[in-house]
Amino acid sequence: MASGRFITLEGGEGAGKSTHVDLLIESLDAAGITAVKSQEPGGGSAEAEKIRALLVEGDVGRWDPVAEALLHSAARRDHLVNIVWPALELGHWVVSDRFADSTMAYQGYGHGLDRAAIEQLYEITVGDFRPDLTIVLDLPAEEGLKRAGKRGGNEDRYERMGLDFHERLRDGFLDIARREPERCVVIDARPPREQVQAAIRDCVAERLEVEFP
């Protein structure tokens, strides 16, 4: 369906996904590739952004895992229909801060929702579509929470879920990458930003045959 490429960055809180999405888009632009920045939940789609506020703000216990997964799936569908798929059909690339792996990690590994249920939701919401490349930025949970705590703002609902939850998230993302090595690459997010970004560019260059200047 799509003529562009879809890259997703995944990982726990504080891993630097948003920063590296911006830097990767700059690098793609320098290579002559038009790339669209996106994120989940939300992605710039007006209705999905409303759902985002319900998920990332407020009391930690405001949703149970099933409700969370359904809300994320609804936002994802709107994000795909209104942002991702139209951009890909124009031949643009899309670089997204989170996608469906986050639902599996957060609601599955983190909250214990059954894998089969999440996979079924994916098929209903997304179908056969998959990212061309998923980069998992790996960081110890405690370090990630320390970094995330410096950001401030009111989008901290998941950050407040406790260290045990975030350690399960980390294990979940690493397991997802082990299960799908043809799509996923794990990159250590602990080194300085420039070093991490260089590793990301090398990965994109190798996997998607991009020549960066």
Q: Please report which confidence band the pLDDT of residue 173 belongs to, taking 50, 70 and 90 as the band edges.
A: very high
CATH number belonging to domain 6-208: 3.40.50.300
35-39/184-188 β-pairing? unpaired
Query: Rounded to whole angstroms, how far apart are CA atoms 48 and 42?
Result: 4
Instruction: Classify 111 as helix, strand or coil.
Output: coil
**pTM check: above 0.85:** yes
- Residue 62 backbone dihedrals phi, psi, to 5 degrees: -70, -25
Is the pLDDT score of 1 beyond 60?
no
Q: Are 98 and 8 in contact (CB under 8 A)?
A: yes
pLDDT of residue 132: 97
The model's pLDDT over 105-162, given as tens digits with 9 standing for 90+, comes to 999 999 999 999 999 999 999 999 999 999 999 999 888 888 877 666 677 787 888 8
CB count within 10 Å of CB 153 equals 7
Is the pLDDT score of 85 beyond 90?
yes
User: Tokens 């703000």 map to which residue?
Assistant: 57
The model's pLDDT over 23-77, given as tens digits with 9 standing for 90+, comes to 999 999 999 999 999 999 887 778 888 998 888 888 888 889 999 999 999 999 9
Q: What amino acid is encoded at 117 in this protein?
A: A
Instruction: Classify 10 as helix, strand or coil.
Output: strand
pLDDT of residue 130: 97
Q: Are 99 and 118 in contact (CB under 8 A)?
A: no
Average pLDDT over residues 86-95: 96
User: Tokens 């209903």 map to which residue?
Assistant: 124
- Residue 36 backbone dihedrals phi, psi, to 5 degrees: -105, 130
Structure tokens, 169 = 């998230």
